[in-house]
Structure 1
């Protein structure tokens, strides 16, 4: 890949399972990884893993549901590191509730973390990218946002995130900033329950669970100059599952 320049990358939800691969691939490529998570201790652990592998990393605390917390993160990043080049919105939750089990507060919490959270981060950090005429925004969506899902709050939040990605292309028109989504299928993280893992051989054409490192590889490509004309895309990393099957049987 044509990397050309090392970048400063802010990753939210950096202590999550999928971000193991994202952080590792970015750090190994020489990028500065700013690991942000709800818990500073968890963020420090994620940053420490990058450093142990020879990469550069810093840790930050942020609550993506809180406007003031996001503002404080931006100030802290600016004071300690400077401007960021890349924002990866990976913070998210999966609330395993069917429609009958939801109340308004539980639905709204998922939307706030998975959809409004990325919006807050983008609104805070994108203007600096626009001013410098270069930037990459990568939203970690899901195949649930493409096909639907039995858990309506998760599907709605990820569908909204993918559409936010497409819509922001208009705002970033001609600015040098691109906005894309990565839509993983079944990734080998603690979030994936055994029921789903058991269905992979018969519902995913490659018969494979995705390694977090693969998601990191896609993120690394999107940062490279080879991806400068990929914009507004939902990049499916799912083994072909969304083309032929649904990952869940009807309850």
Structure 2
């Protein structure tokens, strides 16, 4: 089995509990990156506590100089990165008239420009090695639309960035895919959304972070080497029957 140095952005977040754990269980080294150094270290410590191998790094993925410094630190401490999981993200619960250009750009900066900056900075190392795995954590909101336009637009952009990068990585041994969660059991999900799950998700249940982690770990494996440019829904079937509003509002 190939062992990968796997960089995970937003590693201190709730969804990454499952992603970090499943990647470590697959035998990979987990490089936990977060804006908050304490959250990054806590995430790495949790992986090490379960017997895995992990390192912590602090970086703002929206800043090109931070991402460049991150690469230098990773090379010095661990070595080249073979896999990237772009999981850093933010949801700003603002509808159109609540947003201004600055708040809208902030969401796109974290959810879309950040993944672009990380991939661009680390791409050459993967190209030189003729191998790489990139997984972008998008959302079903990028496919269905969502009441909060900055989030939906950023995730739609991230999914399309995934597909567009196939041209850049043609013949390099690098695959690029997106996973698109529905409602996941994290602190970000408000109770009102949780209450709607039985009526809007055919499986009738919320998605667990470990399920996201299992899918990401699979995409890093040799068994997934022919999966490339895919936007994989992991939503209990919600996308298939999605309604933007409750029936009484239609």
TM-score by length of 1: 0.97
Give the structure 2 partner of residue 145 of structure 1: 142
Match of 1:165 among 156, 162, 166: 162
Q: Any unmatched runs of 5+ in structure 1? A: none
Determine if contact 1:203/1:247 at 8 Å carries over to the other structure. Answer: no
Instruction: Count the aligned residue pairs.
Output: 248
Give the structure 2 partner of residue 106 of structure 1: 103
The alpha carbon displacement at 1:132 in A equals: 0.6
The answer as to 2:207 corresponding to 1:218 is no
The alpha carbon displacement at 1:5 in A equals: 1.3
Match of 1:236 among 209, 233, 242: 233
Equivalent residues in 2 for 1:1-251, closer than 5 Å? 4-246=1-243, 248-249=245-246
The alpha carbon displacement at 1:247 in A equals: 5.9
Task: Give CA deviations for 1:202-230 in whole Å, capped at 9, x if unaligned.
Answer: 00000010000000000110011110000
Moved over 4 A (4+): none
RMSD: 1.0
TM-score by length of 2: 0.97
Task: Give CA deviations for 1:42-79 in whole Å, capped at 9, x if unaligned.
Answer: 10000000000000000000101111100110000000
Distance in 2, matches of 1:21 and 1:162, equals 21
The alpha carbon displacement at 1:246 in A equals: 2.6
Distance in 2, matches of 1:129 and 1:146, equals 29
Q: Any unmatched runs of 5+ in structure 2? A: none
Distance in 2, matches of 1:248 and 1:187, equals 19
Distance in 2, matches of 1:35 and 1:247, equals 35
239-248 or 187-196, which deviates more? 239-248
Determine if contact 1:38/1:63 at 8 Å carries over to the other structure. Answer: yes
